[in-house]
A and B are shown apart, each in its own frame.
Chain A
Amino acid sequence: MLSKQQIAQRIAQELQDRWYVNLGIGIPTLVANYIPEGIEVEFQSENGLLGMGPFPIEGSEDADLINAGKQTVTVLEGGSLFDSAMSFAMIRGQHVQLTVLGAMEVAQNGDIANWKIPNRMVKGMGGAMDLVASAENIIVAMMHTNKRGESKILKTCSLPLTGVGCVKKVVTNLAVLEIKNGAFYLLERAPGVSVEEIQNVTEGTLIVDGEIPEMQL
């Protein structure tokens, strides 16, 4: 079973040279720590920053320079700053090649739910609906099950949706899944996790085609 860091590490293998990438809050943020050798990617923060760098050295933090999670950050050389309309023009206009975000539920038709639980305090969708409605490539980083052990990889989402038919790949603590033809295709298993174990906690249709390799981390 993968740790959160390892989920991020596996997702980082999906990064391609010269991609602009938007990372959501939580596990997705960790992806920036595992950029493969020899490729150049730039991180976009939807509050208006491209070329986002690491957290600042203590004492040099700037209240006027934060990421979408409101954390203090830095700008790399060659970075740029812009307003929110331009930022979402980049996103909706598909100038950002990859979005990585978390989810509460994902369905086999590519639907995603990650912003609202009925009868609970709702904080809002932030930029998630714009991101999932637009990105060419969306990778969801999530735990395979919820705290009660129930599958979050479903036939249909039960929670209010963030976007429809948009997710193509899911990396969980147990597996790498591809969504196509209305089903989850098992591409890889976490080290030491069997196909049967994955099958047992996947409520959606799981296609197991041939020998399923272990992830290489």
Chain B
Amino acid sequence: MIAFFSDYTVQIVLMGSIILGITAGSLGTFAVLRRQSLLGDAISHATLPGVCLAFMLVQTKNPLPLLIGAALAGWVGTLLIMLITDTTRIKRDSALGIVLSVFFGFGLVLLTIVQKMPTATKAGLDKFLFGNAATLLHSDVMMMLNFSVIIFAFVVMFWKEFKLIVFDADFARSLGINVRAFDILLTTLIVASIVIGLQTVGVVLMSAMLVAPAAAARQWTDRLGHMVLISALFGSISGVLGSVTSSVFLKLPTGPMIVIFLSIFVLISLAFAPNRGLVWDWLRFRKNRKLIQETSMLKNLMLFSEIHTDPFHPHDIAALTAIGRGAIDQTMNEIRQKGWARQFPDKKWALTPKGLEEAKRLTEEFEEQFDVDTSV
């Protein structure tokens, strides 16, 4: 195990995926909260022609010019989306779809051309499609680190401005905050965090690195700061697991492996997160339904006991169900187990003294809570 982590390649892969996970996870929080998840997808696909054109121009496998090309193409794609939605009658989702497919298609054409060039084989540009963490070099990781330090500097400096323009842009404008400028800055930071992940995760699945950790993190907290931290944590853990399994053990593309680990986080968060988790929702619903059924049957029993001179006289189950909802054997059994009612032969039931007390208490509670008088 120690030998494994002291391996130089493994260290590079680990560092790269941690930096990537933290950066994409944090910026993804803003993308998700601004409902710009699909914008991330369009931008990352739009970077492909930029990578190929940059390679054609400089003919080196030095990643810096390639990533600058990617960033420029991503930027042009974003501007086009804004332009289309602002000046035409085409809706935003269609604009995203158009830019994504046109840029990506163009990128694939360029990629095919590049791969037929004699110099291209060494560059291995196809890793930009699905990502390959194993090809990361020390210099790549250093560049990622520099990018992400700059990105985080901006996020820390303009934290409250970003928070406010995402939550309430009109109010931000009324305070004199230049919403347009911060909007462009935030989008630029999202583009930058996409670009640093292209080599590792690839253009096709990079947006998952932005969206999935943030969507999962939203389930666990109601504070923006915590959401960013949790999202960064989920992103980096998935990044590490995906990169290591893909590059060291399986020799598979990295992007798909990372997405598999991300989806585990998303599924667990959707199901089990306290308050917002579906499982707790369902259990709460079940518990409430059971309680309502039990109390309504108990009240039915009380109604009958009030008619009869003996409050503990047994009544037929058919009569009980006729005046109320949800009378099922299970409910009656629950009531019996709580000691509120007794069962008699021929499907007859009677209140116990304890049950009568409980029914009275519930009625009083109900009247207090809703300020109504249920007495006839």
Partners in one complex: no
A residues sitting closer than 8 Å to B (CB atoms) are none
